[in-house]
Every structure is written in structure tokens, then in C-alpha cells.
Amino acid sequence: MGALLIVCILAAGGFLFYASYNIASGVYLKAFCRANTREKEVALTFDDGPDPVQTPLVLDLLSRHQAKASFFCIGEKAVPYPEIVRRMHHEGHLIGNHSLQHKNSFPLTPYREMLSDLTQTQEILEGIIESPVTFFRPPFGVTNPTVGKAVRTLGYTTIGWSVRSLDTRGEPVEQIMKRITKQIRPGAVILLHDRLPDSVELLTALLEYLQANGYKVKRVDELVNDYAL
């Protein structure tokens, strides 16, 4: 009996870990992680910006390729660089909410505080772009009942991913590209960051790969609209 109890506890713990750390699990909230399509269409999503140095370079490159992306911005980073956020918006990219400070403790934040964190971020971003900001990506992709409740209250559409580049590890671009291309399928949502020294080099390689393999780049909200949750 003792052994069975331990197995049960481990299984329950494993499930809760999976539910919290796998944004695609859909246990606490429904997140759009990929489009259910056979069309060769993918979405590029950038988290943790704006970065005063890297983001404008990423925007230059996207503009040269006429590719539209989605930027999940951190509220407090947007405050000193409103012109970068405005530029994202004016150049046709989607702006999403990625919390006020991206604190490690965000998933443990009490409900009221979390609501205020997300609302403040929304107000900052909406104040800059003068358009509604209703798309959200949880920091670290971690979800739990509190995040789920806050997102439902605020009426956000939560965006996950199907391709995790792990580009923040500081590995050579070739290695990151290998990881990405192994996972790319029609309808993929690719998670990237626009704050890294290699952001532009990686995006250059990725855009070339997508073009060479006949993939069209779409904004993630277009994928959501075309292939509902």
C-alpha cells in the first residue's frame, strides 16, 4: 500500500509539473500553440523586448523580408522605449502582453496582484500604440490556476508555441537552427527572443530557411483567426 501511495503521489506531482510547465497541456488555460493546418504557414514570436539595441535590428530585417511577426513585450521595458513599440505596431507587427517585469516569481503572484500586473502592462502598451492589446504570453510559459483565472477575467487570448528555439542558451546559431528546423511543421508557432546578441544572425538564417522551404510567415493572430483554438 505504501509503495502504491508513493507511486500515486509521484504521478500526481508529475502531472502538476507537466500541467504548469507545458503550455500546450491546456490544463489551466487554453493556449494557442500551433495552427491545425497543412498550409506551409508559420508564426514568428519574439519575447522579452523591447531591447534598445537588438529590437530595431530585428525590425529592419523583418522589414527587408516583408515578414510580420508578433512581439510579446515586458511592460517596464516598453516605458523607456515607446518609439520602438510604436515602430513595431506601425510596421504591421502584433504587440502582446508579457507581464510588467517578467519576475521569476510571476507564476506565484497572488491573483489580485497578477491582475494589476497584467492590467498595468496592457495600459502601458495600449497607451503607446493606441490600439487594444489582448494577446498574452505567460512569462516562462508557466501556467497555473491563478494565471488561468486572471487571463479569463481579462479576456486575453493566450499564445504558446510549438517550436521552442532555446535561443537564450547562448549556443551557436547553427545549433539553434538545427533544433528549430527539426521541429518546424505547417502551422508552427516559433518562440524567439529579440534581445540577444545573436538575434539578427538567427533570424537571418531562419528567414532564409523558411523562404527556401516554401513557408509563409504570418502574424500569430492571423493564424488564430484562420485556425481557431
Instruction: Tell me if 51 contacts Zn ion by CB under 5 A.
Output: no
**Cα–Cα distance for residue pair 31/20, rounded to 1 Å:** 12
Q: What's the closest the beta carbon of residue 120 comes to Zn ion, in angstroms?
A: 17
**Cα–Cα distance for residue pair 228/195, rounded to 1 Å:** 30
- Cβ(190)–Cβ(215) under 8 Å? no
Size of the site for Zn ion (CB under 5 A): 2
Q: What's the closest the beta carbon of residue 136 comes to Zn ion, in angstroms?
A: 12
Helix residue spans in 136-218 (DSSP H): 145-154, 173-183, 199-212
Cβ neighbours for 105, distance < 8 A, ≥ 6 positions apart: none
Active site residue 193: yes
Instruction: Tell me if 47 contacts Zn ion by CB under 5 A.
Output: yes
13 vs 170 by CB, closer to Zn ion: 170
**Cα–Cα distance for residue pair 226/11, rounded to 1 Å:** 37
**Cα–Cα distance for residue pair 193/49, rounded to 1 Å:** 7
Instruction: Tell me if 48 contacts Zn ion by CB under 5 A.
Output: yes
Q: What's the closest the beta carbon of residue 66 comes to Zn ion, in angstroms?
A: 26
Instruction: Tell me if 117 contacts Zn ion by CB under 5 A.
Output: no
Stretch that binds Zn ion, among 20-28, 41-49, 153-161, 165-173 (CB under 5 A): 41-49
Q: Which helix (H) or strand (E) covers residue 167, if one does?
A: none
41 vs 84 by CB, closer to Zn ion: 84
Q: Which of 47, 117, 167, 194 is catalytic?
A: 47
Active site residue 47: yes
Q: What's the closest the beta carbon of residue 140 comes to Zn ion, in angstroms?
A: 6
41 vs 194 by CB, closer to Zn ion: 194
Of the candidates 86, 116, 87, 84, the one whose C-alpha atom is nearest the C-alpha of residue 100 is: 116
Q: Which of 98, 102, 193, 194 is catalytic?
A: 193
Catalytic residues: 47, 193
For Zn ion, the binding residues (CB under 5 A) are 47-48
